[in-house]
Amino acid sequence: MGGLDNLVANTAYLKGGDEKEMRKRRRSLSLPKPEQCVSIRAAVGKEFEMLCERQPIGKKFFRKFLLESNPQYVAAAEFLDELIDWDLAEGAGKDKLRTNIINKFCKADSKSFLSYLTGEVADKCKAVSDKDFEDVMMGKVKDATREYLKEKPFTEYQTSPNFDKFLQWKEYEKQKITDKYFHEFRTLGKGGFGEVCAVQVKNSGQMYACKKLCKKRLKQKNGEGMALLEKQILEKVNSLFLVNLSYAYDSKTHLCLVMTLMNGGDLRYHIYNIGEKGLEIDRINYYIAQVTTGILHLHAMDIAYRDMKPENVLLDSFGQCRLSDLGLAVELPGEKTINQKVRAGTSGYMAPEILKKEPYRMSVDWWALGCSIYEMVSARLPFKDYKEKVQKEEVARRTLEDECKYEHKNFDEGTKTIIDLFLKKKIDERLGCRTKNEDPRKHEWFKSINFPRLEAGLIDPPWVPKPNVVYAKDTGDIKDFSEIKGIVFDDKDDKFFKEFNTGAVPIAWQQEMIDSGLFDEARSRNIFTPVHTFFLWISN
């Protein structure tokens, strides 16, 4: 496709596919009948956090159950809701919400008093003041509320009609996914095993990016293990600052990863190809705040990202960014380290411990983040100039021996300070590594960022992509993948394809149902009760 075609295709997909067809599909949506949901009841497990907090539809039904139950349950549910509102509020509104919470939930004579609290927590709650509000309410009182809900309310919920409805959605979630589930739009980029293109779910209208991995090419290059690993890591993570996986399926020719669509281009493109080279400091600050939160999310799950660089940070159409390409990410449970035979990462972003082939864990991501901030300011790397023809060995030598210099006019003192901290050659002096789980977001440099609001997606991005521009080099030659001959699949391959094809990823899929309005539409049409039951009931 040439430049103009591309532009047209890009706008076309922003409008969304065929509206009429979509409405027809939506009207015909019906959930599996309750009697079809017997096996799913055992399969969903009994874990409170997964059933009632992390899965968006599960969370909605549990909350609904609480609000329809006794005053104690209602108080607990409302308290948690209002605590979130308070956490995200700012200025005078925040003070008002705090006063409301204290009066409503902490006074023994209020009808919404949290009467399930006992002992020391109850005393602390009753005595809470403006000063220790955050400490007490976000700490012990919130914890005790969750502990309370996990017991009797959770047990009762699992035998309630609301839970039955949740199971119907869980059964529906298991549907088989094929190419027919999506409309396909323009190509967005090219990966090692195939193209990435924009797709739209036919029944919800939701847009995604689909990363296609050619089965033959995978087999030819022994890439199966890597592909499965990337998929397994992607499906575990769920963060506003990571490209999330919504579906994994296979077609006759490809394995497909359907992920968050990011059509604002990657940060490398923005640094080098738009306007003056480099980015303004407030944009850098905002992007790095998001990226740092994304990295911390991975680290909290014992995952090292290992490919931090601007090229892997993608912008969506609102100007929010996420980390992508988790192909190098590895899980390092417990104290496990990487003991390298080969160096992994990109030249110019590799930490000294990688270059020296020493064992490492998460530290390499903070080093690479320092390199990335440096690059966003000055459009070059600390130890490698833009387009400099230089051997990897020389970049390695400079990385190990040289001091980082700040010659570009755009560096300010604060930014130099934080880069210096990320570029400490000794791991235990590096920001993010100086104590166990050190949180770099506490650094001065981030002081203007309200992280709870950032994590709720409530802070306006400093820059918004124009809707009719494709922020990528012309993708004209992208479709040219050479034909692969002489590869045939055996039983082992088929087993691997099956293992890959797990369909919808629960949290992301449920969010899609909610965001697209399908969840509410289904409820208002009450598709939970099959029509035939209704007629049976009349004829009796």
Decide if residue 205 touches Mg ion (CB under 5 A).
no
Q: In sequence order, what are the beta bridge partners of 257?
A: 211, 248
CA dihedral over 41, 44, 49, 53, signed as positive or negative? negative
CA atoms within 13 A on the CB side of 232: 12
Question: Considering the rule CB under 5 A, would residue 325 count as an interface residue with Mg ion?
Answer: yes
Question: Does the annotation count 307 as an active-site position?
Answer: yes
CA–CA separation, 136 and 124 (whole Å): 7
Listed residue (68, 129, 144, 123) closest to 99, CA to CA: 129
CB of 332 within 8 A of CB of 303?
yes
Taking the least distance from each CB to ligand ADP, the nearer of 136 and 261 is: 261
d(CA 120, CA 123): 5
Q: Is 224 in the site for Mg ion (CB under 5 A)?
A: no
Residue 131: both structure tokens together: 């000063």
Residue number, 325 or 353, with CB nearest to Mg ion: 325
| C-alpha–C-alpha distance, residues 445 and 316, integer Å | 24
Query: Of the ranges 68-76, 256-264, 322-330, 345-353, which one interacts with Mg ion (CB under 5 A)?
Result: 322-330
32 or 348, CB closer to ligand ADP?
348
* Interacting partner of 189 out of Mg ion, ligand ADP, none (Cβ under 5 to 8 A depending on kind): ligand ADP
- Measured from the CB atom, the residue of 12 and 138 that comes closer to ligand ADP is 12
The CB-of-531 to Mg ion minimum distance in angstroms stands at: 48
Asked whether residue 131 is marked as a ligand-binding residue, the answer is: no
| Residue whose CB is less far from ligand ADP, 145 or 260 | 260
- Residue number with CB closer to ligand ADP (509 or 519): 509
Q: How far is the CB of 514 from ligand ADP (least distance, A)?
A: 20
* List 58, 264, 294, 327, residue binding Mg ion (CB under 5 A): 327
Measured on CA atoms in the order 240, 242, 243, 248, is the torsion positive or negative? negative
Helix (H) or strand (E) holding 210: strand 207-214
Residue ranges binding ligand ADP (CB under 6 A)? 188-193, 196, 209, 211, 243, 259-263, 314, 324-325, 327
Return the structure tokens found at 534. 């209704």
With CB under 5 to 8 Å by kind, the binding choice for 248 among Mg ion, ligand ADP, none is none
Measured from the CB of residue 380, what is the shortest distance to ligand ADP in angstroms?
A: 21
Write down the residue that tokens 């919404």 correspond to.
112
Q: Of these partners, ligand ADP, Mg ion, none, which one is at the site of residue 125 (CB under 5 to 8 Å by kind)?
A: none
Which option in Mg ion, ligand ADP, none does residue 314 bind, with CB closer than 5 to 8 A by kind? ligand ADP
Q: Of 189 and 465, which CB lies nearer to Mg ion in the complex structure?
A: 189
Query: Least CB distance from residue 474 to Mg ion, whole Å?
Result: 18
Q: Which residue has the tokens 């309310």?
A: 153
Q: Which is nearer to ligand ADP, 136 or 242 (CB)?
A: 242
Are 473 and 22 in contact, with CB atoms under 8 Å apart? Answer: no
DSSP 8-state symbol, 274: S
For residue 442, what is the DSSP state?
A: G
At a CB cut-off of 8 Å and minimum separation 6, what does 286 contact? 449, 459, 461, 462
Tell me if 319 sits within 8 A of 303, measured CB to CB. Answer: no
Task: Name the residue with tokens 């802070």.
Answer: 459
Taking the C-alpha atoms of residue 190 and residue 187, their distance in angstroms, rounded to an integer, is: 8
**Residue 524: what residue type?**
S
* Torsion from C-alpha of 129, 131, 134, 136, nearest 10 degrees: -50
Listed ranges 48-56, 201-209, 323-331, 429-437: which one lies at the site for Mg ion (CB under 5 A) = 323-331
HSE on the CB side for 17, CA within 13 Å?
A: 23
Q: How far is the CB of 205 from ligand ADP (least distance, A)?
A: 17
Least CB distance to Mg ion at residue 327 (A): 3
Residue 365's binding partner among ligand ADP, Mg ion, none (Cβ under 5 to 8 angstroms by kind) is: none
Q: Which of 464, 139, 528 is nearest to 316 (CA)?
A: 464
Binding partner of residue 261 among Mg ion, ligand ADP, none, CB cut-off 5 to 8 Å per kind: ligand ADP
Q: Which of 256, 156, 144, 248 is nearest to 197 (CA)?
A: 256
Interface characters, 108-127, with Mg ion (x: CB under 5 A): --------------------
Query: How many C-alpha atoms does 304 have within 13 Å on its Cβ side?
Result: 24
Tell me the site size for Mg ion, rule CB under 5 A: 2
CB atoms within 10 A of CB 232: 17
Shortest Cβ 316–ligand ADP spacing (Å): 8
Q: Find the length of the chain.
A: 540
- Residue 162 in contact with residue 169, Cβ under 8 Å? no
Which listed option, Mg ion, ligand ADP, none, makes contact with residue 77 (CB within 5 to 8 Å by class)? none
Q: Shortest gap between Cβ of 324 and Mg ion (angstroms)?
A: 8
250, 307, 325, 365: the catalytic one is: 307
Which residues carry a binding-site annotation for ATP? 211
Q: Which residues are catalytic?
A: 307
User: Where do contacts with Mg ion occur on this chain (CB under 5 A)?
Assistant: 325, 327
Q: Which residues are annotated as a binding site?
A: 211
